[in-house]
Structures are given as structure tokens and as C-alpha cells.
Amino acid sequence: MKIITNLLDNKDFVELKNIILCDEFPWFFNEHSIDSHAISSPPQFTHNFLKDYRISNYFFCVEKILKKIDHSVMLRIKANLNTKTENIIETGLHTDVDRKGFHSAVFFVNDCDGYCRIGNEKISSEENKLVIFNSSLRHTGTSCTNQGRRVVINFVYTR
């Protein structure tokens, strides 16, 4: 696992954050955080920057992050928005890809008391931080209690 703080320079980060957190950014409701078979998985909002070879009109938002990630093929780029809850709720342990050679990265867009848990290690949600790990590792995101929302961008790729 690798953690990089202050991934983007301040100007680029503020520009990205202002676009993604503005009230006109297109978020899409998902009944479950991880998949439709996980009944106990709480709902969340998502935005697919890259999925099934389709690119969002907002793909430009992630281009500067992509320059910082050592990748050869990007499989998926998705933003997750989990809303504030009374107590922190984990969205559900899962793997992104259970095949050799795939990596996942989580970029934290805002500060909050939520976290990403990879195995037993909790990585706090601190804006402009990136955590990189093997895609076959079980991990989960969470809601938050001290902000209106917790927003991250997930990348799944090969090197």
C-alpha cells in the first residue's frame, strides 16, 4: 500500500474540488454502494468518469490525477458520494478486481471523519490524498458524521 498526501498542487486541487462539490455536478443514485446483491450495502451517489470504455463529459476533472498514477490501462474511474449519517456506516467489504496485476487507488476529495479501510488498516479521509493498493485486497468506504458528504474518486488500473 502506498499513501501520497498533497497529490495535486493547490490550484489544481481547488479547481477539481470546486467542480465536483458544486451543486450542478451530475451525481446518480445507486440503491447499493457495492452491488445490487449486497442487500445490507447502503445507498450512495456515483459519477462514472470512465466505465465500459465510455467517458464522461467531466473526464477532464481527473486528467491531472491520471498523470500522477503509474498506469498502462485504466479500467474504471468512478466518484462516490456517501451522505452524512448519525453513525459512521461502512459500505461493505469488497474487492475491485480479483486478478493479478490490477491496482486500485482512492483519491479523497474532502476532509471528513469517514475513512477507507483496507484489511484492518483505516486510512482517514483527508482531502487531496491518494491511497494505492492491490485491487484484490478487501476494502470498504464509509459514510461520515461531521460533514454533509464524503466524496472520493476510485481508479482501477493495470501498470
pLDDT digits (tens, 9 = 90+) for 64-122: 999 999 999 999 999 999 999 999 999 989 999 988 999 999 999 999 999 999 999 99
CATH of 2-22+29-34+41-158, one of 2.60.120.620, 3.40.470.10, 3.40.640.10, 3.40.50.11900: 2.60.120.620
Inter-residue contact 134 to 104 (CB < 8 Å)? yes
Quote the pLDDT of residue 32. Answer: 65
Q: Which residue has the higher pLDDT, 107 or 37?
A: 107
Domain ranges of the chain: 2-22+29-34+41-158
CA distances from 36 to 30, 31, 39, 66 (A): 9, 7, 7, 29
| Residue range 18-29: mean pLDDT, rounded | 97
pTM score: 0.94
Is the pLDDT confidence value at 130 over 80?
yes
pLDDT tens-place string over residues 56-74: 999 999 999 999 999 999 9
Inter-residue contact 83 to 95 (CB < 8 Å)? no
Give 31's pLDDT tier (boundaries 50, 70, 90): confident
pLDDT tens-place string over residues 40-61: 667 899 999 999 999 999 999 9
- What is the DSSP code string of 7-68? -S-HHHHHHHHHHHTSTTS--EEESSSS-TT-TTSPPEEEEEEEETTEE-TTGGGGHHHHTT
Retrieve residue 64's grid coordinates.
491531472
Q: Write out the H or E segment, with its range, that includes residue 106.
A: strand 102-108
